[in-house]
Amino acid sequence: MRTATGPALILDLVGEDGEKVRMLVVNGTIESATYLDDLRYDLVFDYLRAFDVMYEAGRPVSHALMLGGGGYSYPKHIVSHHPETSIDVVEVDPAMTRIARKHFFLGDLEREYDCTATGRLRTYCDDGRAFLEGDAGRPRYDAILNDSFSGNDPAASLMTVEAARAVRDRLAEGGLYLMNVVTSPEGTGALLLQAVGRTLGVVFSHVHVIPCDPASPSASDNVIVVATDATCDLPGETTVPAASGAPVITDDNVGNLAHALFR
């Protein structure tokens, strides 16, 4: 199958414990995964489970927005495991949503939970930044999650201080912005994390870091960065590493910084 970023392959595998897993690989990069059979709405990847930290912040999450649908793993988890939450999903590539519906059980979920009637899950084919800056009549969200990537690279338009302001304008008072960042949590490989922390700190009062693999702090891995104007203590959080030399990312400089920060 073809997607906007390259050919998509679907691989059915068997894990170490005998679990059946389906992987979505786009242009050589793993984009998503799902368990098969009765576990099809459960999460395969640890970093997606880490997004559930939004439920530990001490405020209800009744309406969330996810930027980057991919295989729709986390939206399926929200609908099936958190009946108190509805979620809107913005995915720029319609081919990805078609693949998710046909091969990654998104269609099954929409029918089983009657998502059209209940509004528990709404999908939008749009660019994430454009959606944030679009129709002012759209709702405010208790949480906004950013998992937007093109292959291994994050969506640059969502990494800037201007994008952070657009996110803040879409959040309800005290809402949470959660961003998946692939970086080292500390050490010489943490420049991207430092830059993201500085950038979000321009807009939000508090920035928290949730390493998904705290046992390997110097290795590049998924890190969830949480920005909010509310005061909260989050399980597993660490501080943003010292930001000496890290830039604030803007619309004007993100093109020049992309090679150094994102690769």
State the Cα–Cα distance between residues 135 and 147, nearest whole angstrom. Answer: 22
Backbone angles phi, psi at 106, to 5 degrees: -65, -40
pLDDT of res. 234: 94
- Residue of higher predicted confidence among 261 and 161: 161
- What is the token pair recorded at 145? 């999650």
Q: What is the largest CA-CA distance in the chain?
A: 51
Position with higher pLDDT, 54 vs 151: 54
Could you write out the DSSP letters of every residue in 34-51? EE-GGGTTS--SHHHHHG
Q: Which strand (E) or helix (H) includes residue 193? A: helix 191-203
List, for residues 193-206, the tens digit of each pLDDT value: 999 999 999 999 99
Are 157 and 128 contacting, i.e. CB atoms less than 8 angstroms apart?
A: yes
Per-residue pLDDT of 99-140, as tens digits, reads 999 999 999 999 999 999 999 999 999 999 999 999 767 789
Question: Which tens digits make up the pLDDT trace of 31-71?
Answer: 999 999 899 999 999 999 999 999 999 999 999 999 999 99
Q: Could you give the CA distance from residue 190 to residue 241 in angstroms, rounded to a whole number?
A: 7
All domains of the chain in start order, with CATH: 40-262 (3.40.50.150)
Give alpha helix (H) positions in 51-190.
73-81, 94-103, 106-112, 115-118, 128-132, 161-170
CA dist 215 and 35 (Å) reads 26
pLDDT value for 216: 60
What's the pTM value of the predicted model, to 2 decimals?
0.94
174: burial class by Cβ within 10 Å (0-12, 13-18, 19+)?
middle
Tell me the per-residue pLDDT of 75-94, one tens digit each, with 9 for 90 and over. 999 999 999 999 999 999 99
pLDDT tens digits, 206-236:
999 999 876 565 567 899 999 999 999 999 9
